[in-house]
A and B are shown apart, each in its own frame.
Chain A
Amino acid sequence: MAAQTLFEKIWNSHVVHEAPGEPALLYIDLHLIHEVTSPQAFEGLALDGRKVRRPERTFATLDHNVPTTDRSLPITDPDSKLQIDMMRKNCRDFGVRLFDLGEVEQGIVHVIGPELGLSQPGMTIVCGDSHTATHGAMGALAFGIGTSEVEHVLATQCLWQARPKTMEIRVDGKLGLGVTAKDIILGIIGRITTDGGTGYVIEYRGSAIEALSMEERMTVCNMSIEGGARAGMIAADRKTVDYLRGRRYLPSGAQFDRLAAQWLTYRTDEGAKFDRSIAFDAAAIAPQVTWGTNPGMVTEVTSKVPDPSSYADATSRRAVELALEYMGLAPGTPITDVKVDRVFIGSCTNARVSDLQAAAAIVKGRRVAATVHAMVVPGSQLVKNEAEKLGLDRVFKEAGFEWREAGCSMCLGMNPDILKPGERCASTSNRNFEGRQGKGGRTHLVSPIMAAAAAVAGHFVDVRDWASR
């Protein structure tokens, strides 16, 4: 048997039907849904008199629209309320398990999948959301789909997919103190740019990747889409098995051990070939800060806002000019001079327990600057509960952060958490597009510890100077 990559093993074992000149028909092991990209899909099913083929492989949550404040109160925004009510009705009518507000399993869809044991190695996983790539950290082939495809998966449990190319991204060596998984992926996107991965599935490999915890691997895989790749994966290993053991939806004992043995077969073989390979040195990665209006417009915290005239081609120059105009930044400004108005620690990229622990360690005994409004939004109810057991909420609140309920929150202002025009935010989320966090809002993407340090200092700082304290 020829040497196969992780991607090929998963792809080949899920093709249900294929013919020359056609995309493959892939079986989908797990379909995750949320309230924003599903209403039209369920409507389509109902209009055609179709059922959900596999309700037992379909799980829903409420995350994008939900307020992160007191959830015993009624939802005030009528459009949000409508989508939430529709999700509840659709799940009831079609027999799909919904993790509703008030349930301990509720949270951001890409946080709850792994933590409930739903997302497993070797699976194909889809969701109507581009950050579905997150589940690739479990050693799965996971990618985002549009609402029409959501309808298709609901009806058939399958998806037509043209076979992508494979890209190996190796990160070897040791990450410096104060440098995180978030900086790895921002550094990668800075190099390959926002379309460098288009048409590819990325596998992240190398000693620095293997050294990452499961939650750190999720951060890396999460932002694969920002580099243009639909999916990003990290092969399962003992850490993956240990992470999954005892999780809510997994069996235990001999049954678990049998599953675990299968999971560990999903690894790239010695000698397998990728269509493209890129290598990074972990030790050379510094804390990253985005300065522009896409995640590829990023630099090291020790660097400066770029000068448009340093870009060779006219289209890039103009794009940088427009970005700097939107962001209200002058060329040549040191990143550490950039002041922030708001700090958001949250999102499917960086709102897990280890992210909150790292940020809490930075702010413990310190205070949020008087000029900053800072908040922490745990990625799920389970994350919130564990963080509270560890006393992290007290650390954040004593430092002057707001401590919220779980949801997508300020990553994209679809709920009450939104930037005002011109407000500048240090955010642990994944997108800094114009208006993403609120019309006219200015987003800078950073790691949790960089966001925490910026909250205290009132401007960006090189957290490596703090991390050793």
Chain B
Amino acid sequence: MWQSALRIWALVKKELLAVLKDKRSRYSLFIPPVLQCLIFGYAASYDLNDVPYAVFDEDRSIQSNDLLFRLDSTHVFRRVANLQRNGDIATVIDNKDALIVLHIPQDFARNLHRGSPAAIQVIADGRNSNTAGIATSYVQSVVDLFNDNWRETHAQPAQSVQVAWRAWYNPTLETRWNMIPSLIGTITLMQTLLLAAMSVAREREEGTFDQLLVTPFRPMEIMIGKAVPAMMVGLVQATNVLLVALLWFQIPFQGSLLTLYAGLVLFLLAAVGIGIFVSSFAVSMQQAMLYAFVLIMPFALLSGLTTPISNMPQILQYITLVNPLRYAITIAQRVYLEGAGIDLLFPDLWPMVLIAAFTLSIATWMFRNKVA
């Protein structure tokens, strides 16, 4: 037992040396994750902060001016044109000069004073329907404020029902808050899976894997010797991303670090398992890498990172059950934002153990039988 541990330790040292001795591969392991985290943190957002818009104001009244002034003073809406003709609406939208066009009809102020509904039209560029929807909802909230104000100053009864809302775990509803904790898993998955797959594939391509098999190492020990270094690299990367979240983006951490790392270790075990599993099917480094890549794509897409799993059709929801990233993202978000304890996370922990056990035992079996 002791000897076995010593042998594994020797392998781990050798693997770490092989990965870290080259300056370029050191950089490629630790710099890109932090960069990715920073860029994604700023890029991966659905919150708009610049909406170019054009106005076709046929009314030109004090009231329409007031409404436009409210839009302009949000600092989100940026007026790019005052249109004179109905026909110009199509041009500014088509050419992407404006995301939305606000059309205020001639009878706007008259209707307001008469107390009948005054309609304005919002035309949105639906080429990205998500963005268009968000922009129009911003217009709506400005109009709501205008309405409240109008009712107050014109002695009309206030809206009979008030809707008061509050969001748990993310009071200002910032996309970044759920995106960055999810990246802890996503970024480390890509790198550890590739690293594990490549470390086996490289030895096989260079023929040193066969040499390793004739040494006194047992296949199980070789497997552990390959898995542990990749997991160590993964843990360092996860820590880097966590530090960016805490120190750069300053997203408050609610849970316990111990719980988070317990989840991460299991997740990395599953990721490394899949990496070694893939490499046991590949004959060359190139194949191992391509196979790993073909797997990483659906892992990332079907993880709940960009879109919720509950939006997917049932059959894809079943497929996500074998996706370790799905569990890692749930765990990271829940521990990070909600402060969930390990008891609540149990349903997300055991599937990863199962994935690791399955992939690693198949891989061990493959290695033993291919050589024989």
Report whether chain A binds chain B.
no
Residues of chain B touching chain A, judged by Cβ–Cβ distance below 8 Å, are none
Residues of chain A touching chain B, judged by Cβ–Cβ distance below 8 Å, are none
